Amino acid sequence: MDPGSRLDAPALSGADLDGERVALGDFRGQVVVLNAWGSWCGPCRTEADDLERLSRQTRADGVRFLGINTRDRDRAAARSFVRAHDMTFPSLHDPDGELLLRFPPSLVNPQAIPSTLVIDRRGRVAAAIGGAVTDEQLRPLLARVLQEES
């Protein structure tokens, strides 16, 4: 999205899968990849390894990843998914989809999981991708947003 037409990302905060407090606002000033996923979701399993690899590779550039685990009532299933994919970035636990409903439907369809957003340093949504995302799709978007002035 053109920087002039970007919408602010809503305030998101809550407990992560280990019960620790996490807030999207904690990452202000950095580019954030926000990924909505569920342990029950086949395409989420497909993209998880790419997301984790990209998270590790872009951290030094100022990119942070944050997950939103949705529709997993039991955190144990979500934690098992995280362990299976060696995911190191935090994920907010959102069993009822409340956090996803804070986004306009044009950006995030709460029924379309996985969904990925790229949020610029000013907290605005720079890109929205419905469905599984690959390293090849995400890397150029991140490069573009990283080049922008904050």
**Enclosing H/E stretch for 92:** strand 91-94
Please give the model's pTM, rounded to 2 decimal places: 0.96
Q: Is the pLDDT of residue 21 over 70?
A: yes
3-state DSSP assignment of residue 29: coil
Superfamily of domain covering 3-147 = Glutaredoxin (3.40.30.10)
pLDDT in tens, 76-115: 999 999 999 999 999 999 999 999 999 999 899 888 999 9
pLDDT of the residue at 4: 86
pLDDT of the residue at 3: 87
Who contacts 147 (Cβ-Cβ below 8 Å, separation ≥6)? Answer: none
Q: Which of 65, 51, 43, 34 is nearest to 128 (CA)?
A: 34
pLDDT in tens, 37-76: 999 999 999 999 999 999 999 999 999 999 999 999 999 9
CB 33 within 8 A of CB 134: no
CA 87, CA 17: separation in Å to the nearest integer? 12
Q: Which of 9, 30, 14, 5 is nearest to 148 (CA)?
A: 30
pLDDT of the residue at 149: 79
Q: Which of 37, 73, 74 is nearest to 52 (CA)?
A: 37
pLDDT of the residue at 144: 96
pLDDT-derived band at 150 (thresholds 50, 70, 90) equals low
Ordered by start, the domain boundaries in the chain are 3-147
Q: Which of 25, 138, 35, 139 is nearest to 78 (CA)?
A: 35
pLDDT of the residue at 113: 96
pLDDT in tens, 110-139: 889 999 999 999 999 999 999 999 999 999
